[in-house]
Amino acid sequence: MSAAAVALGSGVPAAARTGGDRVPPDPFRLGVASGDPEPTSVVLWTRLAPDALAPDGHGGMPGRAVDVHYEVAEDERFSRVVRRGRAVATAELAHSVHPEVEGLRPGREYFYRFRAGGEISPAGRTRTAPGPRERVDRLSFATASCQAWYHGHFTAYRHLAEEDLDLVFFLGDYIYEYAINSGNLWRHGVELGPAHDATVRTLEQYRLRYSLFKTDPHLRRAHARAPWVSTWDDHEVQNNYADAHSQYGISIEDFERQRAVAYRAYYENMPLRRSSIPDGPDMRLYRRLAWGRLADVHVLDTRQYRDDFPEDSGAGGEHTDPDRSILGERQERWLTEGLRRSGATWNVLAQQVVMAQIDRDTGPGRTFSMDQWDGFTANRDRLFDAVRRFGIDNLVVLTGDIHRHVAAELKADFTDPDSATIGTELVASSVGSDGDGAPTDRYTELWLSNPHVRFYDGRRGYVLATMTPERLTSEFKVVDHVERDDTAAVSTVARFVTEAGRPGLKREA
Ligand SMILES: [Fe+2]
């Protein structure tokens, strides 16, 4: 970690000089969150922003540092407080704090809240992971992605927040960088000033974008309801970027500068541990967590280290180049090693872009998306080889990105439906992106013409999953509108079962 990263710090520097307790009224408008639970610790988050949409991105906070106190209790009324502490919210990190609370008991539910000045935050609920050797009966989680705030209300989160959840996986596109104006503002009932009608490039603009999206009350409730395990995709920086390569004619040098401020704003706004403090244009987001002996979760970053688009867009086969990687060499090695060592009932990859091969030509031709794993076939082959070599029969891939619900089987040979099934891929539709949507749309046929794709739905929603030592049950949840208002009911449009040790999908409903 560089000196700059240390100076940005997220902990509690012992001798920190702060402005003490003076804070403008109502500083907790962006909510509270927790994340990345371990058996005895969890990271908490809040960011002070009394004037959340102040155009300068500072959230109405003065330039000085402020003390933020937190407490963690066993009960919702905070009568059994088990930990108290202080974090320092600095202007350098947009007055966010990320205290890592230690000394908790494994597999327990906790409640937390913050205090700054005389103000007390709403309470959040979180939980610790079970002990490393524990036999665990059940892990209940939801997956979500792609929350273009301007396309619709976050009604999906309204319902997600009512579920009984141990974890929420967020799989990318927490914000979008596009200018917001009458052309794309489909969310009824809001009016926006000119500060939002510009493509996001600067630190101040990224900060303001997070604040804007966090004005949705259902997003804040979803954060407060359960610990999140978050990863990003492209729109946290810029559409379809690849490592230091912008697709918009920006030089590598300029784009690295933009990536640095985008990554910094991401860290400031998410419940991430200090291991993710950015260092210039670099930020470590890939990481592992375990849920007792039930599940090992490998959280991937397929953006920061990937090779650029092939120059021939795949037509000449350059995308099958054996040197191409979507993970980058170090992350690939780290993942292979993690899979090799895993003794868990389930191995989960929480990641961004579709892994299954998807031929986008419904006729005799073959067309693939170069932005997904199809653009990096050698990397996918190496992963599948490792899965087979280590005898892994429990691979579950959690994906976002396409704004559609999709369930697919991952095949040893995608051109041969009878070939071995390597794993199971559950693609969560978007929370907001693409507005209302419909059960079927102009892409339905394309996706379902791939025989290993077992399900498709074009509405907004989330995936709810329950993992036990025997089986994984996944339910695809949808709401039928999001643009008009946030009143849509939720329904389960499909339910699948995957038996432990038998990758693939059995449809139940
Ligand atoms: Fe998206």
Cα radius of gyration rounded to whole Å, the chain: 22
Contact status, residue 498 vs residue 504, Cβ threshold 8 Å:
yes
**Average pLDDT, integer, range 142-156:** 98
Determine how many CB atoms are found less than 10 A away from the CB of residue 428.
31
**Average pLDDT, integer, range 407-411:** 98
Task: Note the pLDDT of residue 363.
Answer: 86
Separation between Cα atoms, residue 176 and residue 151, nearest integer Å: 11
**Average pLDDT, integer, range 478-507:** 98
3-state secondary structure 125-157: EEECCCCCCCCCCCEEEEEEECCCHHHCCCHHH
Q: What is the pLDDT of residues 252-265, one digit of tens each?
A: 999 999 999 999 99
As beta bridge partners, residue 298 has: 288, 349
Cα–ligand 1 centroid distance for 430 (angstroms): 7
Reported confidence tier of residue 442, pLDDT bands at 50, 70, 90: very high
Cα–ligand 1 centroid distance for 318 (angstroms): 26
Separation between Cα atoms, residue 432 and residue 454, nearest integer Å: 23
Separation between Cα atoms, residue 68 and residue 18, nearest integer Å: 10
Cα–ligand 1 centroid distance for 85 (angstroms): 37
Cα–ligand 1 centroid distance for 178 (angstroms): 12
**Average pLDDT of the chain, as a whole number:** 94
Which H or E run contains 473?
Answer: strand 471-479
Q: Which two tokens stand for residue 94?
A: 């947009």
**Average pLDDT, integer, range 35-39:** 98
DSSP 308: P
**Average pLDDT, integer, range 337-342:** 98
**Average pLDDT, integer, range 37-66:** 96
Separation between Cα atoms, residue 95 and residue 18, nearest integer Å: 12
Separation between Cα atoms, residue 492 and residue 470, nearest integer Å: 22
Task: Note the pLDDT of residue 8.
Answer: 42
Q: Which of 18-27, 35-44, 143-152, 375-384 has the lowest mean pLDDT?
A: 18-27
**Average pLDDT, integer, range 476-505:** 98
Task: Note the pLDDT of residue 313.
Answer: 61
Task: Note the pLDDT of residue 15.
Answer: 40
Cα–ligand 1 centroid distance for 173 (angstroms): 5
Cα–ligand 1 centroid distance for 435 (angstroms): 12
Q: CA torsion angle for 198, 200, 202, 205 (degrees, to 10)?
A: 80
**Average pLDDT, integer, range 142-153:** 98
- DSSP secondary structure string, 409-426? EEESSTT-TTSPEEEEEE
Contact status, residue 300 vs residue 327, Cβ threshold 8 Å:
yes
Cα–ligand 1 centroid distance for 432 (angstroms): 9
Cα–ligand 1 centroid distance for 401 (angstroms): 5
Task: Note the pLDDT of residue 316.
Answer: 65
Cα–ligand 1 centroid distance for 184 (angstroms): 14
> Reduced to 3 states, what is the DSSP secondary structure of residue 500?
coil
Instruction: Flag whether pLDDT at 125 surpasses 80.
Output: yes
Instruction: Flag whether pLDDT at 5 surpasses 60.
Output: no
Task: Note the pLDDT of residue 202.
Answer: 98
Instruction: Flag whether pLDDT at 394 surpasses 70.
Output: yes
Strand pairing report for 119-120 and 109-116: antiparallel
Task: Note the pLDDT of residue 314.
Answer: 57
Instruction: Flag whether pLDDT at 447 surpasses 90.
Output: yes
Angle at 326 (CA atoms; ends 147, 354), nearest 5 degrees:
45
Reported confidence tier of residue 12, pLDDT bands at 50, 70, 90: very low
Task: Note the pLDDT of residue 13.
Answer: 44
Q: Could you tell me the CA-to-CA distances from 289 to 128, 144, 172, 417, 446 in Å, in that order?
A: 11, 18, 18, 33, 35
Cα–ligand 1 centroid distance for 434 (angstroms): 9
Cα–ligand 1 centroid distance for 25 (angstroms): 35
Separation between Cα atoms, residue 321 and residue 299, nearest integer Å: 25
Q: Which two tokens stand for residue 216?
A: 């949705």
For a pLDDT cut of 70, what percent of the chain falls above it? 95
Task: Note the pLDDT of residue 14.
Answer: 40
Q: What is the pLDDT of residues 274-322, one digit of tens each?
A: 999 999 999 999 999 999 999 999 999 999 999 999 876 656 678 889 9
Integer distance in angstroms from the first to the last C-alpha of the chain? 50
Cα–ligand 1 centroid distance for 283 (angstroms): 21
Cα–ligand 1 centroid distance for 421 (angstroms): 28
Cα–ligand 1 centroid distance for 151 (angstroms): 11
Task: Note the pLDDT of residue 340.
Answer: 98
Contact status, residue 52 vs residue 60, Cβ threshold 8 Å:
yes
DSSP 115: E
